[in-house]
Copies of this chain bind each other. A is one copy, B any other.
């Protein structure tokens, strides 16, 4: 039930990029120092987010990263799925990466008790994270 450092750093990096959105690009070292993230590790994360289509980047001097989409269109659920994989606590209840559970005596039956409760946990998690956008995420910070 844990969020990885990778996702945590990714979210914090996207927070900075959201605050800068429409105004300027940010370089990895700027993000790294503001959010206390190891710069080489951050790099991997930004690249993954770029490959997933969330960020644009420019190389060379005056290079940097920027959000491609508007912060209102990106949800934390998307981000965490990119960096950490499925939100579901167990493969057999994932909607984005379903995997039949082998070795489970109920896997053939419709009503596996574990599946049932973990399905609601998944829905609860996704219900929050898939409706929580970067805008929502940043607004808590802007106000504070």
Residues on A facing B (Cβ under 8 Å): 1-3, 8, 11-12, 15, 34-36, 76, 80, 84, 86-90, 103-106, 109-111, 113-114, 116-118, 120-121, 124-125, 127-129, 132, 136-138, 140-141, 143-144
Copies of this chain present in the complex amount to: 2
State the main secondary structure of chain A at its contact with B.
helix
The 4 closest A-B pairs by CB, nearest first: A111-B144, A124-B124, A3-B89, A113-B140
**Chain B residue with the shortest CB-CB distance to A101:** B8
Whether B36 contacts A3 by the Cβ 8 Å rule is no
Whether A128 contacts B137 by the Cβ 8 Å rule is no
Whether B12 contacts A114 by the Cβ 8 Å rule is yes
